[in-house]
Structure 1
Amino acid sequence: MDGIFLVDKPENITSNYLVQKIKKHLKKITGKEIKVGHTGTLDFFASGLMVITVGKATRLTEYFQGLDKEYTAEGELGKITDTYDRQGKVIEERECNITEEKLKEIILSFQKTYPQMPPPYSSKRIGGKRAYQLAKKGIQPQLKPKIVSIYQIQILEIKLPFFKIKVHCSSGTYIRSLIKEIGDKADCGAYVSYLRRTKVGKFSVEEAVKLSELLKMTKDELVNRLIGMKDALYFLTELILDHGFDDRFIKGQRFRVKQAGKGLVKVLNKEGKLLGIGEIKENNILQPLKVLL
């Protein structure tokens, strides 16, 4: 069983808990230990799409992590929490005298590429520890801003002090930080009261299976839901090797290919079987990166 599942994570569980539940279920129905991972954490209070890697696909996590994301989020103005979300402790309340029109203008001003500061309660590593581990001990993590891109913000609803938006953004964007920044610009603060991830790349939560349903599925039903590795890597260009070159790739040897253009490729044999991931470098030299056999 090698590929990905699209799973709709419920609110109020950790991403790791979801992975462990799936791993336990797979062992129960197959009688085997199967590797299970995920391609990007969702906050405890958030729901929505998680791309779950299974078997050999757990070695491909890094390639999915760069995909764009889409979220639906609700913010509440006038309150600031230490975690920037509803799970946190309210550390400040302010009066919010803002018009709907001004709030719309502020929200749409974030459709840009800019350096965004991660929340103190985040999984960013600082000196070998996660930022949230330091924050829980009362230590202010020394975080650095990261360049993110907000490609589109759609305003779904404004019922002050609440506002609901849909955000299409680059990987690594923190919606909690975005909502806080909107609140800062509105001069009254804000926190995330609701968050749902709706897309990862072209994968949509509408195609996903709820965790509760997945945990009732038989082996055959799960195999039918599994997206194979070749299809899951839709965002990588295919490179089909000529006969006789399979072994060289499998052995990790570099060699020249006919295909022009630099970058990552998914490498297939003549029969269409995925052999692994490679990178085409200068002079059309293929460098094997991951062999998946």
Structure 2
Amino acid sequence: MDGILLVDKPENITSNYLVQKIKKHLKKLTGQEVKAGHTGTLDYFASGLMVVTLGKATRLTEFFQGLDKEYVATGELGKITDTYDIQGKVIEERECRITEEKLKEIILSFQKTYPQMPPPYSSKKVGGVRAYKLAKKGMDVPLKPKEVTIYSIQVVEIKLPLFTIKVHCSSGTYIRSLIKEIGDETGCGAYTKSLRRTKVGQFSVEEAVSLDELLKMDIDRIQQIIIPVDKSLYFFPEIHLDEGFDRRFLHGQRFRVPAETEGMVKVYSKDGRFLGIGKIKEDKILQPVKVFL
């Protein structure tokens, strides 16, 4: 059982809990342990698309993590929480007088590349420890800003003090931080009231199944909705090796290939069997990266 599942995570469960529920269900159906993981955490209070990896696909997590994301989020002006979201404790309230036009102007100004500070309550590691664990102890969390890109930001609705936005952003962007930054610019402060991830790369939540639906499926139905490993790597070009070179690739050997592309590629045998992922360097030498025997 190798490939990915697109699952719509409900609110108020952890990403790890979702994966464990799926693993338990698959073990019940197959009678054996199935390796599973996810490609990017969603906050406890958030809902939306989770890309769940199964079997051999768990070795490819790093490639999915780098994909762009899309979110729909609602922020509330006039309140600041310690976690930047609805789960946190309100640490400040401010009177907020801002027009819809001015708020819209501020929101749209974040369509840019800039250094963003992660929330103190995040899974970022500081000295090997998750930041949220330090924050819970009341410790200062020495986080560093990370450059992120907001490719597009749309105002979905404004009903002051609430505003809803749709954001297409680079991997590593914290929407909680973005909402806080918008609040800072207004002078009102803000926190994230709701958050939903709608896309990961070209994968859409509209293609996903809910966790409840998945846990009612039999093994045949689940097999039907698993996206095969090679098909899930739509963002890599593919090359086909001549006979004999497939064995060399599978044994980790480097060799020259007559390819017009450079960088990461999906590698197939002459008869179309998926062999793994390789990297073609400037001298057209193919280096095996992930091999699937």
TM range (shorter): over 0.9
Corresponding residue of 1:189: 189
- Which stretches in structure 2 are left out of the alignment for 5+ residues? none
Residues 153-210 of structure 1, C-alpha deviation per residue, up to 9 Å, x if partnerless? 1101000000000000000000000000000000010000010000000000000000
Are residues 1:248 and 2:248 paired? yes
In 2, the alpha carbon distance for the partners of 1:226 and 1:202 equals 16
Query: Structure 2 length as normaliser, TM-score?
Result: 0.99
Aligned letter for 1:268? Y
Corresponding residue of 1:223: 223
Aligned letter for 1:276? G
Q: CA deviation at 1:274?
A: 1.3
SS in 1 for 2:95: coil
Select between 196-205 and 260-269 the one with higher mean Cα deviation: 260-269
In 1, the alpha carbon distance for the partners of 2:255 and 2:50 equals 36
Corresponding residue of 2:261: 261
Q: CA deviation at 1:140?
A: 1.4
Corresponding residue of 1:111: 111
In 1, the alpha carbon distance for the partners of 2:274 and 2:38 equals 21
Corresponding residue of 2:4: 4
- Give the ranges of 4+ consecutive aligned residues of structure 1 lying more than 4 Å apart after TM superposition: none
SS in 2 for 1:52: strand
Corresponding residue of 2:157: 157
In 1, the alpha carbon distance for the partners of 2:261 and 2:204 equals 30
SS in 1 for 2:283: helix
- Which stretches in structure 1 are left out of the alignment for 5+ residues? none
Corresponding residue of 1:147: 147
In 1, the alpha carbon distance for the partners of 2:197 and 2:24 equals 25
SS in 2 for 1:282: coil
Q: Percent same amino acid at aligned positions?
A: 75
Are residues 1:200 and 2:200 paired? yes
In 2, the alpha carbon distance for the partners of 1:109 and 1:282 equals 39
In 2, the alpha carbon distance for the partners of 1:271 and 1:192 equals 51
Select between 253-262 and 192-201 the one with higher mean Cα deviation: 253-262
In 1, the alpha carbon distance for the partners of 2:272 and 2:50 equals 27
Corresponding residue of 2:29: 29
In 2, the alpha carbon distance for the partners of 1:109 and 1:95 equals 23
In 2, the alpha carbon distance for the partners of 1:62 and 1:242 equals 29
Residues 129-154 of structure 1, C-alpha deviation per residue, up to 9 Å, x if partnerless? 01011111111111000010000011
Corresponding residue of 1:100: 100
Corresponding residue of 1:170: 170
SS in 2 for 1:13: coil
Are residues 1:48 and 2:48 paired? yes
Are residues 1:275 and 2:275 paired? yes
Corresponding residue of 1:38: 38
Select between 254-263 and 222-231 the one with higher mean Cα deviation: 254-263
In 1, the alpha carbon distance for the partners of 2:272 and 2:144 equals 44
Corresponding residue of 2:73: 73
In 2, the alpha carbon distance for the partners of 1:269 and 1:89 equals 56
